[in-house]
Structure 1
Amino acid sequence: MKSLSIRRAALVAFAALGLSLRHGPAKADEAFITEQNGDGVSVLDLSTQKVVGRIAVGGKPAGIAMSRDGKTAFVTSTEGKFVSVIDAASRTIKAQIEMPDTPLGVAADPSGAFIYVSGFYNPRIYKIDVAAATIVDTASVAASPSGVAVSPDGSLIVVADRDDDALSIIDAATFKAKATVKVGAHPFGVTIDADGARVYSANVESNDVSVVDLATQKLIGTAPAGKRPYVVALAGGRGFTSDQYGGTVSVFDLETLQPIGRVSVGEYPEGLEASADGRTIYVVNWFSNDVYAIDAQTLKVTGEMAVGDGPRAFGTFLRKTP
């Protein structure tokens, strides 16, 4: 394992860019965890509480998107400048797609035909045909695009433009920008709700969450978060943020946007996702090399699992197995 100082150096570099379980979790059979320092992806079986596989990826993997059917994981390698297409069942790499820029955020179209990848420096968003493993279109966005999300019906793509304090909203059919919405300082992770009505951005430097109405493309509210929130998850009428500097998960009410509570987790939490049934929140702790499970209603930590070195899992990383 690399020293803490090495992990801190990795954090600084990316800031410049921008379970042994105690109770069985529900409806999230596996978690695919990108490990930046370890150059791979660990697969956690969330029922047996064990790491059951590891996929060597290379290139300092960070971002991940799981296809809706759970058959494929897409992983961005920030230093390798490629995206790996992984068969989730066999744990094998089916393709590696070269990128012309540093890829970070990635999101999968609900149809499974395309993925969308943010290029941090150009700055652009890339549309990739999954079957052909080829970039088929690009769109300009604002500075330092980071997180990417796709609406449930696949019609809209939202990108967090970190250094412009904004979200770019892109029409998926035309692959042209529809709007740019100013939000808090340095948005990083973006999450769209299940109705496709609102998008939530975790604003790293203003320590809050911006709420944008996708129909009107307007900022409609702000919710508090802990120190340096990176990702937002939604479950049971609540919003959750992974607070990197706070070592916490902050919770707020989605209706009132008022704070509910805060849960202490591991060191430098980043990746965050709710289980399909909304009962469990999974948080990936970058520096303490572990994953916590949190009960979404009681806000109690219900489990921990050790993983490899430098886990980020920036994106959607949970998979429901057949």
Structure 2
Amino acid sequence: MARRRTAAHLVPAAAAGAGLLLLAQVWAAPARAEEAFLTNQPANEVAVVDLGPDGASPRLVGRIPVHGSPAGVAVTKDGSTAFVTSPDGKALSVIDAATRRVLARIPVGGGPLGVAVAPRGRPVYVADWYGARLLVVDPDHAGDVRIAPTGASPSGVAVTPDGAVVLTADRDDDTVSVIDAARLERIGVIKVGQRPFGITLSEDGRRAYTANVGSDDVTVIDVATRSVTATVKVGARPYAVALAGDLAFVTNQYAGTVSVFDTTTLAPRATIHVGEYPEGIAASGDGRHVYVANWSDNTLSVIDTAVLRVVATLEVGDGPRAFGAFLRRTAR
């Protein structure tokens, strides 16, 4: 029987296994244009998927052991490094994306969940689900962890393209915190829908989108004015948002679907059936495909954004969550 998750699933389950695992199980594979780094939470690993030269031919190429029920993931813009949070292990793992090896495991305490990286690759911002705070980590100096305040139970994290502002979705306060990255001060609080979880910024950083688990909608935020400009109804228990061209794609956990709406008109465009309990979602660099991690049936769905349907499905391992920016973009 497929697993069914409730709201309690949003707080990660107990860790399985112990000890620091540094080496990855790796298959030899040439460099590709794009790869997906998927956190398989119950399996205590990150699955690496080659998405194929066309973006729609996924192939499992590696598994990287990561202790502590890994959940959040953020790959640097240059594709060199993946940062993975382990809520049960209270740590941030630093992974060399090319060699698929864990380089370091940084203790951060609390309940690290969402993660984002500054545009230049440093620092790394980690949402502490238990501590109502944002942890600011310098991976080159593991002991240097600074703190900024947030609302209750911060989950998703996003950084503006200029690196000046960090946003957190504060699930238990129904708010988004706006944090000055230089001063690490909370400079704004925006009321959104109920139980915001994932938060995504537009490419230019002008708009933010929160997936509101409790109210089954997406809040659209004007970042400059720190104001809500729209609310868009989607499916049951939306988890995260991906943007491709002028379309927004939203994973609906309870519905097993992805809602699609136009970011200009906010009109609905499609409802796409994917795997059971879809969670993490990300768009390819060219916007031609959207990738969805399906927690309950252990698969990755590939959506063609031109025809708005699933064109490929791949089994990837136990409990893929992939919460964050999980795509690695490389030169061919």
TM-score, normalized by length of structure 2?
0.90
Q: Residue type matched to 1:15 in 2?
A: L
Q: Which of 111, 118, 129 pairs up with 2:127?
A: 118
Mark the runs of 5 or more structure 1 residues left unpaired by the alignment: 18-26
After TM superposition, give the deviation of residue 136 of structure 1 in Å: 3.2
In the aligned structure 1, how far is the partner of 2:68 from the partner of 2:36? Answer: 20
Q: What secondary structure sits across from 1:113 in the alignment? A: coil
Indicate if the aligned counterparts of 2:92 and 2:106 stay in contact, CA closer than 8 A.
yes
| Deviation >4 Å, runs of 4+ | none
Q: What secondary structure sits across from 2:71 in the alignment? A: strand
Q: Deviations over 1:262-290 (max 9, x none)?
A: 00000000000010111111010001100
Indicate if the aligned counterparts of 2:67 and 2:86 stay in contact, CA closer than 8 A.
yes
After TM superposition, give the deviation of residue 16 of structure 1 in Å: 5.4
Indicate if the aligned counterparts of 1:142 and 1:168 stay in contact, CA closer than 8 A.
yes
In the aligned structure 1, how far is the partner of 2:4 from the partner of 2:312? Answer: 25
Q: Do the aligned partners of residues 61 and 254 (structure 1) sit closer, same or farther apart at CA in structure 2, a change above 3 Å counting? A: same
**2:34 matched to 1:39?**
no
**2:102 matched to 1:97?**
no
After TM superposition, give the deviation of residue 123 of structure 1 in Å: 1.1
Indicate if the aligned counterparts of 2:220 and 2:231 stay in contact, CA closer than 8 A.
yes
**2:15 matched to 1:15?**
no
Residue 218 of structure 1 corresponds to which residue in structure 2?
227
CA-atom RMSD in angstroms? 1.6
Q: Do the aligned partners of residues 12 and 208 (structure 1) sit closer, same or farther apart at CA in structure 2, a change above 3 Å counting? A: closer
Residue 318 of structure 2 corresponds to which residue in structure 1?
309
Q: What secondary structure sits across from 1:278 in the alignment? A: coil
Judge which range, 194-203 or 132-141, deviates more: 132-141
Q: Which of 173, 177, 182 pairs up with 1:168?
A: 177
Q: What secondary structure sits across from 1:38 in the alignment? A: coil
Indicate if the aligned counterparts of 1:150 and 1:156 stay in contact, CA closer than 8 A.
yes
Q: Residue type matched to 2:49 in 1?
A: L
Indicate if the aligned counterparts of 1:224 and 1:252 stay in contact, CA closer than 8 A.
no
In the aligned structure 2, how far is the partner of 1:131 from the partner of 1:304? Answer: 37
After TM superposition, give the deviation of residue 12 of structure 1 in Å: 4.9
In the aligned structure 1, how far is the partner of 2:238 from the partner of 2:33? Answer: 24
Q: Residue type matched to 1:230 in 2?
A: Y
Q: What secondary structure sits across from 1:163 in the alignment? A: helix
Indicate if the aligned counterparts of 1:126 and 1:135 stay in contact, CA closer than 8 A.
no
In the aligned structure 1, how far is the partner of 2:109 from the partner of 2:67? Answer: 17
Indicate if the aligned counterparts of 2:77 and 2:329 stay in contact, CA closer than 8 A.
no
In the aligned structure 1, how far is the partner of 2:33 from the partner of 2:148? Answer: 34
After TM superposition, give the deviation of residue 28 of structure 1 in Å: 5.3
Q: Do the aligned partners of residues 249 and 139 (structure 1) sit closer, same or farther apart at CA in structure 2, a change above 3 Å counting? A: same
Indicate if the aligned counterparts of 1:41 and 1:56 stay in contact, CA closer than 8 A.
yes
In the aligned structure 2, how far is the partner of 1:95 from the partner of 1:145? Answer: 24
What pairs with 1:14-93 in structure 2 (closer than 5 Å)? 14-15=9-10, 29-47=34-52, 49-93=58-102
Indicate if the aligned counterparts of 2:94 and 2:104 stay in contact, CA closer than 8 A.
yes
What pairs with 1:293-308 in structure 2 (closer than 5 Å)? 293-308=302-317
What pairs with 1:253-264 in structure 2 (closer than 5 Å)? 253-264=262-273
Residue 21 of structure 1 corresponds to which residue in structure 2?
none
Residue 142 of structure 2 corresponds to which residue in structure 1?
133
Indicate if the aligned counterparts of 2:78 and 2:330 stay in contact, CA closer than 8 A.
no
Q: Which of 143, 153, 158 pairs up with 2:162?
A: 153
TM-score, normalized by length of structure 1?
0.93
In the aligned structure 2, how far is the partner of 1:307 from the partner of 1:171? Answer: 38
Identical columns (%) = 51
Mark the runs of 5 or more structure 2 residues left unpaired by the alignment: 13-31
Q: Deviations over 1:237-272 (max 9, x none)?
A: 011100000100000110121211100000000000
Residue 261 of structure 2 corresponds to which residue in structure 1?
252
Number of aligned residues: 309
Q: Residue type matched to 1:78 in 2?
A: P
